[in-house]
Amino acid sequence: MTDMADLKEVMGSIFRERRGQRGELIGLLQAVQAKLGYLPAEAMMAIARFARVPESQVFGVASFYAQFRFTPVGRKRVMVCQGTACHVRGAPKILEEVERRLGIKPGETTPDMEHSLDTVACIGACALAPTLMINKETHGKLTQKKVTELFQKNDGTGGD
Amino acid sequence: MAPAERLTLHVCQGTGCVSSRSPQIQAALEKEIVQSGISDRAGVKLTGCHGFCQRGPIVIVEPEGIFYSEVKPEDAVEIVRSHLVDGKPVERLFYIDPISGKPVPRYQDIMFYKKQHRVILRNCGHIDPEKIDDYIASGGYKAIRKALLEMKPQQIIDEVKKAGLRGRGGAGFPTGQKWDFCRQAPGNKKYIICNADEGDPGAFMDRSLLEADPHSVIEGMVIAAFAIGANEGYIYVRAEYPLAVQRVGMAIRQATERGYLGKNILGSGIDLDIHVKEGAGAFVCGEETALMMSIEGRRGMPRPRPPFPAQSGLWGKPTIINNVKSLATVPVIIDRGAGWFGSIGTPKSKGTVVFALTGQMANCGLVEVPLGTTLRETIFTIGGGLLGDRKFKAVQTGGPSGGCIPESLLDTPVDYDSLNAAGTIMGSGGMVVMDDRTCMVDIARYFINFTTLESCGKCVPCRQGTRQMLDVLTDITEGRGKPGDIELLEELGQGIKDGSLCGLGQTAPNPVLSTIRYFRDEYDAHIKQGRCPAIACKALIEYQVDLQKCAACGLCKRACPAEAIGWEKKKPATIDQAKCIKCGSCLSACPKKFGAIVVSSPGIPEVA
């Protein structure tokens, strides 16, 4: 969990660049998540005070958009694309393989906090279907075998 | 230095090519050029997406037009030494035509490019999107001068009207007419918004355009702002497109420095500031009223229209929301005239359209064709037909709002009206081709699952109706279909269409209704015979070992995660159906030369 003093510092640095207006709400949430990986309740309460929006509405907005998470994420965020092109080219099997390799379902994080697994609607790399992303890196033209290799490599060395 | 002889290596750095290491290729090429001592007559240039993503990373040598596909960083040395130094192109990196099987050295001769008509994508792949001078050198920011310094707002609107430009976001509303409404709306404060919330799964042309040619969109926005009287603008772009966000930000900064944005643009007295807003992952925000809610920092839930955004939009002010491609088209219309633009396409649908051609295609990527081009030409001539020897079954357009078109309608000319008549929509341009392995009921279920998750929840028919449809479709694909299910789906679909406020709900049943219309027999096979003709629905298929073909190698046993395979040395493998989770691991593990794992759906002949 985030230390309260750290959190204050993070929030302070984010607030300094903004004016505290309602229109900034989504940008504020995105900035916090970019720094912490998720949205702790304390951060959302601080945003509510700063943007002068009720806490309920801050949570309402945060829970509406798929991008936001309320629990900590692993160091490597795995996002398996579920777009149409990927679906037609076997995305369901790719997702199952990733689930088996990591031992978690979408929305979950491995106990060692190494990997989080999510599905995304489309990452827009359809010509390379099926695809997945690990943090900001896109991997395309996947097969079950490639997925196995991808996570063996990642698991053993802890490299990229 | 002799400029005429100078060779430039265009290295594609769109999202697709970047994912297959094109930045490393660029670095390796630059290094090798220096080491070979030919910096005076050769250079490397970063470009945006060339559109042929499946064959990426792509490197084109200009002005010769030699096209290298699937390049690796390790190939850099050979490209520089053999091609640039010795004048011998590297043949092994040539593109192979899927129909003739022959290598095609120049990109102008590749069918995928040859048959395209690039208006919207005019600069993509040719200019460096991170350099404003490159855009200007290719004729950019010329239209802005003409529009702001020589034309009146009404003249611009009339020109766009005369050109017959219709919204490229999918609905096809006449752009000029929309601008006219906004221009006439009272008030001093107006907004121009670029809708880059490209949420349709299977579509990526807006991303590519923003990554490859961001200035064309900015130029279009300035012209639109001048026409409607707006002085503030937003580009609302998906957060899932980090590279597009980065390039647009860079382009805005450069355009402001050069006086194409900001205060008193080009001395015309016109002001425009553009902000970038990142979407947060809600499909419904592509709908214009929801998009504005999102910019205001609220849940992206659509509201009834009227009032239309052109009268009362963002923060209650008159607002125009145009798609990325519509805006990128505006400078060309101003520059080359409505007459020229109107000569492309059909009388009711003018200009060109960009499709993201994906799915089971030989050539996946972005293609731009005149409106009115048939589906057959786009898929088979430009797209090179299907992968391998697979049989065409359907093409899906319009994403979750569209439908599946069968083979019998392949000669349909693609325009807004003909696609509507076929039960689908143009949409923003996703075109997903499906072969005989794709189950149409599963596809319908896939899309309804998507809209169920993405429904904002405001209208009950959409929120609850899509869920009911999903339940029925899940039952059918899992072998629990009942007589009357098809009729129930049709009834629910009509109810959702009639009872929803926004485009998401009004079109959500299209994928189901169109597959029922054209592929009813597949629904029947699932419901009445418990079989999936495409051998795709997990609950209705079986994996078995062909005892004649099994070489008893045991690879399948090692691959099986469910311990469902029995095998002993020198004995063929067996699959315990009770334990089998139908993951397909055995099928991909079984060496192709044996092909001993057979998948079937009971009641039909075995297909590997």
Condensed to tens digits (0 to 9), the pLDDT of residues B377-389 reads 999 999 999 988 8
Closest CA to B146 of B279, B314, B337: B337
Q: H helices within B273-395, ranges in order?
A: 288-295, 324-336, 338-342, 375-376
| Residue in B closest to A66 by C-alpha | B281
CB of B302 less than 8 A from some CB of A: no
- Name chain B contacts of A68, Cβ cutoff 8 Å: 280
pLDDT of residue B289: 97
- Rounded to whole angstroms, the Cα distance separating B306 from B295 reads 20
Q: How confident is the model at residue B327 (pLDDT cuts 50, 70, 90)?
A: very high
d(CA A7, nearest CA chain B) in Å: 22
Q: How confident is the model at residue B2 (pLDDT cuts 50, 70, 90)?
A: very low
Give me the mean pLDDT over the B511-518 stretch.
97
pLDDT of residue B460: 97
How high does pLDDT run on average in chain B?
94
Tokens of A73: 């994420």
- Rounded to whole angstroms, the Cα distance separating A38 from A24 reads 18
| Residue in B closest to A136 by C-alpha | B242
pLDDT of residue B312: 97
pLDDT of residue B605: 46
Amino acid, single-letter form, for residue B577 = Q
Give me the mean pLDDT over the B211-238 stretch.
97
CB contact under 8 A, B240 and A120: yes
* 8 Å CB contact between A69 and A37: yes
Give me the mean pLDDT over the A94-111 stretch.
94
**Dihedrals φ, ψ of A112, to 5°?**
-80, 5
pLDDT of residue A154: 53
Nearest to B296 among A22, A29, A120 (CB): A22
Q: How far is CA B190 from CA B216, B320, B462, in A?
A: 21, 8, 32
Is pLDDT at B607 greater than 70 in this prediction? no
pLDDT of residue B564: 95
Q: H helices within B363-484, ranges in order?
A: 375-376, 416-421, 440-454, 460-477
Q: How confident is the model at residue B279 (pLDDT cuts 50, 70, 90)?
A: very high
Nearest to A93 among B204, B443, B584 (CB): B584
Residue A158 burial (CB count, 10 A): 10
Between CA A89 and CA A96, with CA A93 as vertex, the angle to 5 degrees is 150
Closest CA to A154 of A93, A73, A72, A77: A77
Is pLDDT at B499 greater than 80 in this prediction? yes
B599 three-state secondary structure: strand
- Name chain A contacts of B392, Cβ cutoff 8 Å: none
- Name chain A contacts of B202, Cβ cutoff 8 Å: 83-85, 122, 126
Q: To 10 degrees, the CA torsion angle through B204, B239, A98, B13? A: 50
pLDDT of residue B5: 72
Note the pLDDT tens digit of each residue in B427-483.
Answer: 888 999 999 999 999 999 999 999 999 999 999 999 999 999 999 999 999 999 999
- Name chain A contacts of B193, Cβ cutoff 8 Å: none
d(CA B359, nearest CA chain A) in Å: 5
Nearest to A96 among B201, B358, B583 (CB): B583
Note the pLDDT tens digit of each residue in B211-224.
Answer: 999 999 999 999 99
pLDDT of residue B152: 97
Is pLDDT at B404 greater than 80 in this prediction? yes
Residues in A 1-20 with any Cβ partner in B closer than 8 A: none
* 8 Å CB contact between B287 and B504: yes
Residues in A 19-58 with any Cβ partner in B closer than 8 A: 21-27, 29-30, 51, 53, 57
| Residue in B closest to A86 by C-alpha | B359
- Name chain A contacts of B205, Cβ cutoff 8 Å: none
pLDDT of residue B588: 87
What stretch of H or E contains A41? helix A41-51
Q: What is the DSSP letter of B303?
A: -
| Residue in B closest to A25 by C-alpha | B297
% pLDDT > 70, chain B: 98
pLDDT of residue A4: 73
% pLDDT > 90, chain B: 87
Note the pLDDT tens digit of each residue in B351-375.
Answer: 999 999 999 998 999 999 999 999 9
Amino acid, single-letter form, for residue B248 = V
Q: What is the DSSP letter of B147?
A: I
Is pLDDT at A86 greater than 70 in this prediction? yes
Q: Are strands A115-120 and B7-12 parallel, antiparallel or unpaired?
A: unpaired
d(CA A9, nearest CA chain B) in Å: 24
Residues in B 271-290 with any Cβ partner in A closer than 8 A: 277-283
Lowest-confidence region among A152-156, B109-113, B585-589: A152-156
pLDDT of residue B20: 85
Is pLDDT at A159 greater than 90 in this prediction? no
Note the pLDDT tens digit of each residue in B67-100.
Answer: 999 999 999 999 999 999 999 999 999 999 888 8
Lowest-confidence region among A71-75, B406-410, B602-606: B602-606
| Residue in B closest to A130 by C-alpha | B359
Q: How confident is the model at residue A153 (pLDDT cuts 50, 70, 90)?
A: low
Give me the mean pLDDT over the B583-589 stretch.
90
pLDDT of residue B72: 95
Is pLDDT at A21 greater than 60 in this prediction? yes
Q: How confident is the model at residue A6 (pLDDT cuts 50, 70, 90)?
A: confident
| Residue in B closest to A79 by C-alpha | B240
**Dihedrals φ, ψ of B290, to 5°?**
-70, -40
Question: Burial letters for A16-46: b for 16+ Cβ neighbours within 10 Å, e otherwise?
Answer: eeeeeeebbbbbbbbbbbebbbbbbeebbeb
pLDDT of residue B4: 45
- Rounded to whole angstroms, the Cα distance separating B253 from B56 reads 30
CB contact under 8 A, A88 and B430: no
Q: What is the pTM of this model?
A: 0.93
- Name chain B contacts of A127, Cβ cutoff 8 Å: 16, 52-54, 56, 204, 356, 358, 364-365
CB contact under 8 A, B297 and A88: no
Lowest-confidence region among A40-44, A153-157, B176-180, B515-519: A153-157
Q: Return the residue in B390, B453, B563, B585 with the most chain A beta carbons within 10 A, the one to mutate for interface testing.
A: B585
pLDDT of residue B195: 97
pLDDT of residue B591: 94
pLDDT of residue B603: 55
